[in-house]
Structure formats: C-alpha cells, structure tokens
Amino acid sequence: MKVIVEQYLAENDINGYYVGRVASFFETGRRIGSDNLKGLAVSTALVFAMLLVIFRSVPYAVIGIIVNAIPVLAGLALLGAAGVAIDMGSSLVAAMAFGIVLDDTTHLVVRLRQLQRSGYDPATAMLRTVRELIAPVMTTTLAVCLGFVVLFFAEMQPFHDFAMLMITTMFIALIADVVLLPALVRQFVSDRPGSLLQNRASWKD
C-alpha cells in the first residue's frame, strides 16, 4: 500500500507526507513483517527438533530443514529481486509456505525410513519412495498453485505478490523434493553394512 501511494504521488507530482495514523500504520506493517521473519526462524528451530524426534536421525532432520528452507528463502529472494518489499503480507506467506512444503517432505522421508527399516539401503529406498509418492506430491502442489492463481484477478498488487510468492515457493519445493532430497540422502546418509547388494537384488525382483 505504501508503494502504491508513493507511486501515485510521484506520477501526479504531489509532495506528500505520512502523518498521524497513516505513518503508524505503515511502520506497524514493517515491524510485523520483521517479527514474522524472526518467528519463522524460531519455528524452523522447533521444526528441526520435531523432525529429530520423528525421524530419530540427525542427518534426516538436517536434510528436512535444508530441503524446506531453500524454497522459502528462494521465493523471498526472487520477490526481492523483483522489487517487492518484504512486508507483513509476504512474510506471512513465507511462514505458510514453509508449513505446506514441509508436509510433502515429511511424507517422503517417513516412507523412506519405513523402507530402510524393511532392509533397503538409502539410495534404493529413496528411488522407490520417489516412484511411489511423486504423483500425489505433484498433485497436491498443482492443487495449491491453482488455488492461488485466482488472486491474480484481484485489483490490489499485494494479492498478486501473495500469490506469486506461494506459487514460486511451491514450484521450487517440488524440485527440491524430487532432485535435492535424493541428492542429499545419497551424499550424507550412509548405507547399512552388508545390505546394499541384497537390497538392490530385492529392488530388481
């Protein structure tokens, strides 16, 4: 809103100043945006603790945070590069997006851990997990993106920014789940001794 007002003043060659409740409103929005980003950092730490309990594995908990933090940060970075201010609205979307993309990753890692407990090595378990769950993950991502497309028909620019951040984040999150997650698992999760050959044979069967 502040950007819209400033653009109007500049286009009409008007000298204006923010006073009274208007100035307080814009300052409050900026502070809320900053507080939301700080809250996002705190929630990330809490989510890490939760993943540590669920997965019972430090590498998987760290991988879960990395895979989900990158899409949110990339979405915010793209908005910043496009000149969109990180305010109350965009920071709220960042927190929402973090929760949504975490859901898909958690499903993938939980299934991955189940296959590992069944005897599969991490690489084979990851391949099978992606093959089993790629369809529902892509479907939920598409459904969320289509739900936010309607906001582009709104007249106010903040709604467009809201939708763009969410759609961009979800798209990057899908790539992270399909490409980055398997790469990190192969790189940082070690195979169980003596299980690799057996599991590859089981996968071929």
Per-residue pLDDT 10s for the chain (205 aa) are: 556 666 767 777 777 666 555 555 555 555 665 666 677 778 788 888 888 888 888 888 899 889 888 888 887 777 777 766 666 666 666 677 777 778 888 889 989 988 988 888 888 888 899 999 999 889 988 988 888 888 888 887 777 877 888 888 888 888 988 899 999 988 888 664 333 333 443 434 4
pLDDT at 153: 84
Question: How many other β-carbons are positioned within 10 Å of the β-carbon of residue 143?
Answer: 10
**Domain 39-204, CATH 1.20.1640.10 — does that match?**
yes
Would you report the helix, strand and coil content of the chain in percent, each value rounded to 5? Answer: 85, 0, 15
Domain ranges of the chain: 39-204
pTM of the model: 0.69
CA-nearest of 108, 185, 174 to 142 is: 174
Distances (CA, A) of 13 to 5, 8, 16, 22: 12, 8, 10, 20
pLDDT at 197: 36
CA-nearest of 203, 53, 51 to 115 is: 203
pLDDT at 144: 85
pLDDT at 194: 37
What are the helix (H) ranges across 82-156?
88-117, 122-149
pLDDT at 84: 65
pLDDT at 91: 64
pLDDT at 103: 84
Question: How many other β-carbons are positioned within 10 Å of the β-carbon of residue 158?
Answer: 18
Q: Which two tokens stand for residue 179?
A: 């490409």
Q: Which two tokens stand for residue 166?
A: 């969410």
Task: Compute CA 78 distance to the chain's CA centroid, rounded to the nearest angstrom.
Answer: 13
